[in-house]
Structures are given as structure tokens and as C-alpha cells.
């Protein structure tokens, strides 16, 4: 089944990154707020408060990781994590909005009264360190998030990157103020306020994304490397998680290679999932799953451990740079239509075409053969 040891290794790495984030945010945020408040630096105080909000975000993500680490596949764990993330995103969205108002109001006041703060060496030290540390944390979290398919970890890393950008703005303002530009600190605070407001707006949008009604999607799975049945079973198991529940699955079929025919036959399957993820987020989950199971994209239609395609997403028609739904080749692929029609014989595509009618038009459908599962049921695969 699934390589749990490998995944747990990445989870442990993610836990370590979040612990490091919490320690950093505690120190940097505390120093920034204390020094900023005592010196009258609006931008330094705002930076410190944002660090404390990032600390809360890291704490929530850490809790989510610890739940997966301790609960594993226990029933109900994924629902618990999803609910915690939804509540945390709502809290952070409101907090960021309040912080943006505080920063903008404070900056406006400083401009009116010509405030001239003296943050001292500590302010410069914290900002310099954040400019270096935050991008590194973001990069490490982004890689780890891809491996475990965690949107929460990815978004937390984006927050770290924003924190580094805010430190850069702060540093520029502090240096400029040292050269006699009294308005540099409140001007930097205005820039920080704008960044915080943007973070808050994006967080609020994620609140609505998490609150979306569950949709139905059909995913096509394929494998022609190594133990093909193992890879398919592992992929189906890994699909289960926050925002995605597998509701039905077709039989597994052996199919001739398509597109690039000089390779081993594939095993293919279609699963029906219920998801609260937006289509692009579901695509990210599928691609993270492929990478976690060793998929390396070297040539189009080439051999692969596992391939996971979004065939349909509700009745949506999507055309973006990264995603096309219904799948652009669905009408030509008997290996996808056969298991799809098995699951939903009367399925109608968004353009009004019947999936079964599309399948009937493909003579190669006769070459799509159901294979025996590990209990011996079904038809034995060829060759």
C-alpha cells in the first residue's frame, strides 16, 4: 500500500519547520513590538504585530501536522483538520483586517504630527535577520507542502515570504529615517499596511473557498511502471484528505498505451470524489500526489508511476493556462471513458454530449479489459 514511512518523514520535516517558525516569530515579534512601542516606530510595531499573527498561523498549521502525525488514517481525522483550518483562516482574516486599519491609522497620525522615531540597533537587527530568514523558510515550506499536498503549509509559507517583504520595506524606511527623512518610517508603515490588507483580503477569500458547498469531480488514474496495481491503490488512498473524499471507484482496466504506443500497457481507473477544493486547488492536490509517488515528467505521454487527471468538475467548463475541464482529450480516450461510463452510465458532459455516446464512437473500446483484483475477482490481465 502507501509509503507511510516516506510521508511521515516529510511530516516530521514540516513539523520542524513550523517549530522553527514559532520560535522565530516569538523572538522577532516580541522584540519588534517592545522596541517599536518604546521608540514610537509605527512600522516596527506593525512588523512585530504581523509576526505575532504569523505565529498564530504557524501554531495552527503545526497542530494540523501533529494531528496527521498522531492520528494517521484514523476515521474522522481529516474532517477535524479541515474544520480547524477553516476556523483558523477566518480568525486570521479578521485579525489581518484589524491590523491593517491600525497600521494605516497610526501611519497617518505619524505623518500629521511629524513623528521621528529612534528604533535603535535592535530594530535594524530584527529587520535584517527577517530579510534573510523568511525567504528561506518560505522555500523550505513550499517544497515540503508539495511533497505532502498541504495547502495550509503552502499558505503559511507564503505568509513568511510576505513577512520578509515587509521587513525589507521596514529596513528601507529605517535607513532613510537615519538620513533625516522624518516621513520615511510612516511611509514604510503605509507600505506595510497595504501588504497586510492584501494578506487579509486573500485570507478572507480563502474563508469562502473553504466554506464552498461540496462539489463532485471525476479523476482519471493511470500507471504503467513497476507494480501498477500498487501505484493505483496508493493514489486512491492518498486522495483522501482535507477537502477530498473518495465516494466511488471503477474497476481497474488494462489498456494499450495511448499517444506514445511503444511502451508497457497501462492500468487505468476512474474515481468519483466529493470535494470542497476549488478546481485549481484540486489540481495542486493531484500533482502533489503524483510527485509523492515518484512521478517525474520527462516526456509527454511517457511511462509514469501514476498519473492523476481531472476529467470533470461538476458541470464546470474551465479554460486556464494550467487547467482544462472537461479534460481536453476525454472524448478521444476510451481508457478514461470506459471506467467513467461504468461509474455513471447516463453521465452528460457540460456541452450536452453523452459520455456513453462518445465511448460508442471509439472502436478501441474493445481493447479496454477489466483486470483481476488481489482477491482474484474480475478478468485476468493480458500478458
Start-to-end CA span in the chain (Å): 24
- Secondary structure E strands in the chain: 215-223, 244-249, 253-255, 266-275, 307-313, 318-319, 324-325, 369-370
The answer to whether 304 is a known catalytic residue is yes
Q: 321 to each of 290, 324, 328, 333, how far by Cα in Å?
A: 20, 8, 13, 22
Q: Which of 50, 249, 307, 333 is catalytic?
A: 307
**Spatial CB neighbours of 293, under 8 Å, sequence gap ≥ 6:** 3, 231, 234, 235, 238, 305, 306
Q: Taking Cα atoms as reference points, which of 89, 240, 72, 80 lies closest to residue 156?
A: 89
| CB distance 119 to 39 below 8 Å | yes
Q: Which of 295, 321, 344, 377 is catalytic?
A: 295
Q: Strand, coil or helix: what is 206?
A: helix
The answer to whether 86 is a known catalytic residue is no
Q: Which of 50, 156, 185, 309 is catalytic?
A: 309
**Spatial CB neighbours of 45, under 8 Å, sequence gap ≥ 6:** 32, 33, 36, 37, 106
Beta-sheet pairing, 307-313 with 318-319: unpaired
The answer to whether 309 is a known catalytic residue is yes
And the C-alpha cell for 357? 455516446
Phi, psi of 216 (to 5 degrees): -115, 130
And the C-alpha cell for 226? 513497476
Q: Which of 154, 206, 228, 304 is catalytic?
A: 304
**Spatial CB neighbours of 9, under 8 Å, sequence gap ≥ 6:** none
Q: Looking at the annotation, which residues are catalytic?
A: 295, 304, 307, 309
Amino acid at each position: 500500500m502507501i509509503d507511510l514511512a516516506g510521508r511521515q518523514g516529510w511530516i516530521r520535516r514540516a513539523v520542524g519547520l513550523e517549530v522553527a517558525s514559532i520560535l522565530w516569530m516569538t523572538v522577532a515579534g516580541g522584540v519588534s513590538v517592545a522596541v517599536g512601542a518604546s521608540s514610537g516606530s509605527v512600522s516596527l510595531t506593525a512588523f512585530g504585530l504581523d509576526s505575532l499573527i504569523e505565529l498564530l498561523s504557524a501554531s495552527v498549521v503545526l497542530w494540523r501536522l501533529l494531528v496527521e502525525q498522531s492520528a494517521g488514517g484514523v476515521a474522522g481525522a481529516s474532517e477535524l483538520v479541515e474544520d480547524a483550518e477553516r476556523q483558523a483562516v477566518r480568525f486570521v482574516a479578521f485579525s489581518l483586517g484589524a491590523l491593517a486599519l491600525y497600521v494605516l491609522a497610526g501611519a497617518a497620525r505619524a505623518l500629521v504630527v511629524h513623528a521621528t522615531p529612534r528604533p535603535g540597533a535592535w530594530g535594524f537587527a530584527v529587520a535584517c535577520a527577517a530579510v534573510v530568514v523568511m525567504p528561506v523558510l518560505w522555500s523550505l515550506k513550499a517544497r515540503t507542502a508539495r511533497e505532502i499536498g498541504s495547502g495550509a503549509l503552502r499558505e503559511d509559507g507564503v505568509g513568511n515570504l510576505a513577512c520578509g517583504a515587509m521587513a525589507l520595506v521596514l529596513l528601507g524606511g529605517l535607513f532613510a529615517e537615519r538620513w533625516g527623512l522624518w516621513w520615511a518610517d510612516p511611509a514604510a508603515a503605509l507600505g506595510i499596511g497595504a501588504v497586510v490588507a492584501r494578506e487579509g483580503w486573500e485570507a478572507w477569500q480563502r474563508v469562502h473557498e473553504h466554506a464552498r458547498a461540496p462539489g463532485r469531480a471525476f479523476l482519471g488514474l493511470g500507471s504503467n511502471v513497476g507494480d501498477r496495481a500498487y501505484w493505483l491503490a496508493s493514489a486512491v488512498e492518498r486522495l483522501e484528505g482535507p477537502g477530498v473524499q473518495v465516494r466511488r471507484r471503477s474497476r481497474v482496466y488494462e489498456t494499450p498505451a495511448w499517444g506514445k504506443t511503444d511502451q508497457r500497457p497501462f492500468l487505468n481507473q476512474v474515481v468519483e470524489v466529493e470535494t470542497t477544493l476549488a478546481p485549481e486547488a484540486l489540481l495542486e492536490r493531484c500533482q502533489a500526489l503524483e510527485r509523492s509517488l515518484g512521478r517525474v515528467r520527462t516526456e509527454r505521454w511517457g511511462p509514469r508511476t501514476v498519473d492523476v487527471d481531472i476529467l470533470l468538475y461538476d458541470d464546470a467548463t474551465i479554460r486556464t493556462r494550467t487547467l482544462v475541464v472537461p479534460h481536453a482529450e476525454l472524448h478521444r480516450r476510451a481508457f478514461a471513458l470506459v471506467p467513467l461510463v461504468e461509474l455513471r452510465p447516463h453521465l452528460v458532459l457540460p456541452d450536452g454530449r453523452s459520455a456513453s455516446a462518445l465511448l460508442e464512437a471509439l472502436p478501441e473500446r474493445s481493447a479496454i479489459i477489466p483486470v483481476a483484483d488481489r482477491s482474484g475477482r474480475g478478468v485476468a490481465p493480458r500478458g
